[in-house]
Structures are given as structure tokens and as C-alpha cells.
Amino acid sequence: MAPPLIQLKDIKLTFGGTPLLSGVELNVAPSERVCLIGRNGSGKSTLLKIAAGLVEPDGGTRFVQPGATVRYLPQEPDFGDHKTTLAYVESGLAPGDDQHQARYLLEQLGLTGEENPHDLSGGEARRAALAYVLAPSPDILLLDEPTNHLDLATIEWLEQELDGRRSALVIISHDRRFLTNLSRSTAWLDRGRIKQIDRGFASFETWRDEVLAEEERDQHKLDRKIVDEEHWLRHGVSGRRKRNVKRLSNLHALRDQRRNYRGTAGSANLAASEAEQSGKLVIEAKGITKAYGERRIVDNFSTRIQRGDRLGIIGPNGAGKTTLVNLLTGGMQPDSGTIRLGANLEVATLDQHRESLDPKSTLAEALTGGRGDQIMVGGKPKHVVGYMKDFLFAQEQRGTPVEVLSGGERGRLMLARALAKPSNLLVLDEPTNDLDLETLDVLEEMLGDYEGTVILISHDRDFLDRVVTSVIAPEGNGKWIEYAGGYSDMLIQRGADLKRETAKSQPAAEKKEERAAAPSSAPKRKLSFNEKHALETLPKKMETLQADIARLQQVLDDPNLYGKDRKKFDDTSAAIAKAHEELSAAEERWLELEMLREEIEQA
């Protein structure tokens, strides 16, 4: 086995009170891909800074292979006094590095290199920082939330870029799909220690649940053992004092073990305050258009949103997602077309930029608006400390200034403010940013139970697949199309990856015009006779198979059939299994041909 590129051994760190890290071990071998998992506040980012050599632990050792190069991507990059993004990226190159990589990566990430780093948006700053750490092709990449503020096209480009590199990776991310696609081992930082398995993130949640269940069983056994020993202490120690001093000592040790046990952190208690039910129709848009000068943001878009719908809006940064949401919710008037809002709408909004937070205010003031100790939750007063605990804030954090909260804590604070307001329409702009996986699970469950309507802007593919019932995606030049299902369903219906058409910021419509204008030696694709015939006849065949399955199922529903006529039971079971296989094949073939027909008609 190759020696590790980085080795952290017995790392200890305490910022007063309970140790943040206590005896942490982490080894990263060449080309290894580790996802670092843990709750917000568990010390993941701090551990990554220790691995990068930026933070000195209280105890333990850090070893890096001589000559190995390390690059660290922080959540908030420091651009120093560099005047352009190109100068910033080039400053990270060593004399022997390929100088062309700086400009190449900036271009791939949609930047020119001439931008002033201090004027960049959150997404642009993240892309410049990625170019900075990728350009030297280091041996080890330490990436802290690399997908934050990136659009889907850039996330998928980054996945491919990292997958093709030989660098070892240690990744902190809330993006499940990103971690699943890239990781090969998992390091779980839990209550100050690391548990590690040689399996990627796809196996993490099952493994974590098994570990916690075993831990719970061990604690139960410990409690039972203490009860038994205490019974002996009360009834048997006086007659066997000399012989059993050691046993008495062991009882004290068991009590210390239970006293020092650090249980798992609680789960957030997210619940949206629901207003009275809205009308069945929530939003109806007909032919709406919005442009800024010559640039069309929305062009002739129509949709109908009904109560209970969960609508996902995706697209590259700058495509106009926020503008589209503002149009749909009545915050902005279209240049043409009409917007009709349903009756009794109560809207609660989560702003991804958290601009409404006063950095100088305390956590309690941000929740109460600086008015006493009570917060109105669903129209009823609740003590602010109790509400803070629902969102995993400790009572001691009540007076903590907002400006010192971590990204995850600010995310939970914004959720707490948004969910306190009674609503029947939730508008969530990147709600998953900086949230840990456990809080994401609770947020997903809350949205599933929410009886109102949800409009969600997100770049988190897994979260979209789990939550939304339809997806609106940009096609370029102001065109938006709505697809049924989640993100993966959208890709299947669309017949092409979003990234291939948006990665270089060229609208899909422009590419279609280029293809139409370009001379082609190949004739336009047409459906064959057999394909046309199959499209016409498959629906009837599927209908017949469904009727056959229903008829056969009625036969099998006879509880005495097996005893009365074993052969009939076997024949009917085989027939229904065959009918299910034929129906599945027919449905897949029809869907494939229907998508081909739509693609040909749109070409």
C-alpha cells in the first residue's frame, strides 16, 4: 500500500468547553477520494484547515509527503490585492507549472481573466477560486463546499474535471450527487472523532445508521450493567469489602463512562407555519415576457401552478431564475402577457444571499426583530430560546452576533425566519446552501408535509429529485420549458444534458440556429415505417396487457386456488409475470419513440 500523502495523527483542538477535535486520525493516499462528512459545527472546515497547514492544533501531528503539493479551497476566498482574476490565479502557480492553465481554466469557468476579484458575485468568486487551486495540478486538493454558489452546468463540469485528475481529493459538500459521483471513501467526523470506511458516499447513510444503532445498543447494555452493579453495591459490599474493592472501582469507572458519553446532536425541528389554505389555482402565467434592453430574460412563457405543486427552477447563474420567480409571484410586472394570482395567497420567501440579515445584530434580535424575547410563529408567540433550539442553536448563542455565525448557522437562521411566517406559498432560493446532510433530510421531510405550494430555485440535483414535481429549465434567449418530475426526469425528457448547452454560456436556441444554418450532407432524420406503426399500435397493446393483468390478478385473488388447482395457480402466475414483462417493454419502447418523435419535430 502506498504511503499517505497527508497523515493527521491524534489531532486535538478545543475552543473552550467541549473539545472540537479529540484524537482525530486521517490518512489520504495518492489519488484517494475522500468525502469528509459531519454536522454543521462538528469541525470539518477546521480539520481541513489543519490538513492545509493553516491552523495549528492543540496536540497531534501533521505529516505531508516531502515534495507533495497541497491546494486548499476555502468557503470564502481571499483575493488579496490582486487587480484581475488572471493575476490572482497565476499567483498560485509555481515556476515549473504550466502557465497556460490559468487562462484556460478561467475560460472554462466562464471568466475572462480581466475581472476585478473584489467586484465578483458569489458564484464568480467561487469559480475564480476553483481556477486558482486547479491550475497547478496539485497532488492533494482540499475542497470546502466547492459547489456553493455554482450553477448546475459548472457543477457538472467540475465533476468531470476532478474525475479526470490524478490528484487526491478531500471534499466537504452538502451536494449528495456530487459526493456520490466522486468519492471512494468516507470519513465521518462525529463528536470530535473520525470513523472511516473504504466506500464512497453512496454507502454512508446506511453505514451511519448501523453505527448509531450499535452505539445505542452498547449504551443500553452499559446502563443495565450499572444498575446491576449498583444493586450489588447496596446489598453486598459490606460483607466482601476487601475482596471487592476492585469491583467497586469498576462501578465508578462505568459511571464515569456514562457521564462522559457524548450523545449525537439532535435533529432540527423544521416546521413551516401554515396559513389558511389558498385557492386551488395559485399562479397562472400566460405569454409573459420580460427584457432588459436588448436582452430577453423571459420570452412568451406560460404555466399554471396549482395548490400543492412543488416547482423547481434551474439554470446557469444569470439566466434569470430570480426574475422569473419575481414575475410569477407578482413582485415584478411583465412587459407583456398576464399573471393571475390565486385567492388568499400568503407568501414566505427565503433569500439565498441573506442580505436582510444585519451582521451586527444578535441571533435573538435577528429572529425577534429586536422586540423582546418572543417571536411570532404561525401567529402565536413563542420564546425565542425555544425556537432557536428547534433549529439546533444553543441557548448560549442567543447573544452571538450574526457576523460570526458559520455559513450553515446563517442558513438555519434564514430558514427559521422564513418558516415562522404563516404561509401557503414558500419561495425558497437556494435553501440547501451550507446546510449539513441531516438538516437537509429534515428540510426535505418538512417540504413533503407542507400542505401549501413550493417554488424552489436550486442547483442541488439530488434535492430537486427528492422534492419537486416539475422543473422549469432555460433553453436560451429567454425561452423556458417546464418538464414533469425531478431533475433526472428533466434530463431524460430533454434528451440532452443541461451542461452541454450551457457550460460555455451559449443559449440552446442560438446553437439550434447555428445547426440549422450550417450545411449538412446528412438528410433530416425521419421516423421509419416500423417506428410510426409502433407508435400507433403500442398504446392499444399496453391497454390490452393491462386488462389481461387485471383479469389474471382476479384469478390469483382466490385464496383457495393453490389448494384446489395447483397447475392453474402456476400457469396463471407465469402468465401474469410474462404480461408484466411485456407491458414494461412496451411502455419503454413507446416512451423512447415518443421522445424521438418530439426531437425530430423540434429539430
- Asked whether residue 572 falls in the same domain as residue 450, the answer is no
- Asked whether residue 449 falls in the same domain as residue 563, the answer is no
- Asked whether residue 308 falls in the same domain as residue 426, the answer is yes
3-state SS, residue 401:
strand
- Asked whether residue 322 falls in the same domain as residue 391, the answer is yes
pLDDT (tens digit per residue) in 11-68: 999 876 678 898 999 999 999 999 999 887 788 999 999 999 999 999 999 999 999 9
- Asked whether residue 345 falls in the same domain as residue 488, the answer is yes
304 pLDDT more than 70: yes
pLDDT (tens digit per residue) in 502-525: 333 433 333 333 333 333 333 445
Contact 485, 470 (CB under 8 A): yes
d(CA 460, CA 545) in angstroms, rounded, equals 39
Of 183, 206, 229, the last residue of a domain is 206
Report which of 15, 114, 112 is spatially closest to residue 57, judged by C-alpha positions.
Answer: 15
Q: Which of 233-237, 378-382, 468-472 has the lowest mean pLDDT?
A: 233-237
CA dihedral 316, 162, 129, 295 (to 10 degrees): -20
256 pLDDT more than 90: no
pLDDT, mean of residues 469-481: 92
Q: Which of 42-46, 99-103, 245-249, 280-284 has the lowest mean pLDDT?
A: 245-249
- 85 lies in a domain? no
In sequence order, the 6+-apart residues with CB closer than 8 A to the CB of 502 are 151, 152, 153, 315, 316, 319, 474, 508
- Asked whether residue 448 falls in the same domain as residue 379, the answer is yes
Q: What is the pLDDT of residue 199?
A: 92
d(CA 432, CA 412) in angstroms, rounded, equals 10
pLDDT (tens digit per residue) in 354-374: 556 788 888 888 888 877 888
296 pLDDT more than 70: yes
Q: What is the CATH number of the domain that holds 539?
A: 1.10.287.380
Question: Which cell is 52 given?
Answer: 492545509
- 79 lies in a domain? no
d(CA 587, CA 300) in angstroms, rounded, equals 33
- Asked whether residue 50 falls in the same domain as residue 144, the answer is yes
- Domain of residue 541: give its range: 529-602
Q: What is the CATH number of the domain that holds 398?
A: 3.40.50.300
Q: What is the pLDDT of residue 523?
A: 42
pLDDT (tens digit per residue) in 206-236: 888 888 888 777 776 766 766 665 555 555 5
Q: How many CB atoms neighbour CB 379 within 10 A?
A: 10
Of 506, 540, 556, the last residue of a domain is 506
Domain count, the chain: 3
Contact 509, 516 (CB under 8 A): no
pTM (2 d.p.):
0.68
Between these two residues, 330 and 228, which has the higher pLDDT value? 330
Of 161, 190, 206, the last residue of a domain is 206
3-state SS, residue 145:
coil
Q: Output Rg (C-alpha) for the chain, integer angstroms.
A: 29
pLDDT, mean of residues 262-284: 70
Confidence of residue 382 (pLDDT cuts 50, 70, 90): confident
- Asked whether residue 426 falls in the same domain as residue 571, the answer is no
Question: What is the overall mean pLDDT for the chain?
Answer: 82
Q: What is the pLDDT of residue 502?
A: 37
CA dihedral 471, 149, 391, 424 (to 10 degrees): -30
Burial (CB count within 10 angstroms: exposed 0-12, middle 13-18, buried 19+), residue 253: exposed
- 186 lies in a domain? yes
- 518 lies in a domain? no
Sign of the alpha-carbon torsion through 138, 141, 146, 152? positive
Confidence of residue 526 (pLDDT cuts 50, 70, 90): low
pLDDT (tens digit per residue) in 55-78: 999 999 999 999 999 999 998 899
- 131 lies in a domain? no
Report which of 79, 97, 76 is spatially closest to residue 88, judged by C-alpha positions.
Answer: 79
- 86 lies in a domain? no
Provide, rounded to the nearest whole percent, the portion of the chain with pLDDT above 70: 82
pLDDT, mean of residues 395-402: 85
pLDDT, mean of residues 177-184: 94
Task: Quote the Cα angle for 268-306-312, to 5°.
Answer: 55
Confidence of residue 146 (pLDDT cuts 50, 70, 90): very high
- Asked whether residue 499 falls in the same domain as residue 536, the answer is no
pLDDT (tens digit per residue) in 436-460: 787 788 788 888 888 899 999 999 9
500 pLDDT more than 50: no
- Asked whether residue 51 falls in the same domain as residue 169, the answer is yes
d(CA 141, CA 70) in angstroms, rounded, equals 6
pLDDT, mean of residues 291-306: 91
In sequence order, the 6+-apart residues with CB closer than 8 A to the CB of 267 are 392, 438, 439, 442
- 94 lies in a domain? no
Element (H, E) at 482: strand 479-484
d(CA 420, CA 110) in angstroms, rounded, equals 38
Q: What is the pLDDT of residue 602?
A: 60
Q: Which residues pair with 187 in a beta bridge?
A: 36, 196
- 492 lies in a domain? yes
Q: Give, as one character, the DSSP assignment of residue 390.
A: H
pLDDT (tens digit per residue) in 538-573: 888 888 888 898 898 888 888 788 788 888 888 888
pLDDT, mean of residues 247-264: 57
325 pLDDT more than 60: yes
- Asked whether residue 475 falls in the same domain as residue 545, the answer is no
Contact 514, 482 (CB under 8 A): no
- Asked whether residue 541 falls in the same domain as residue 476, the answer is no
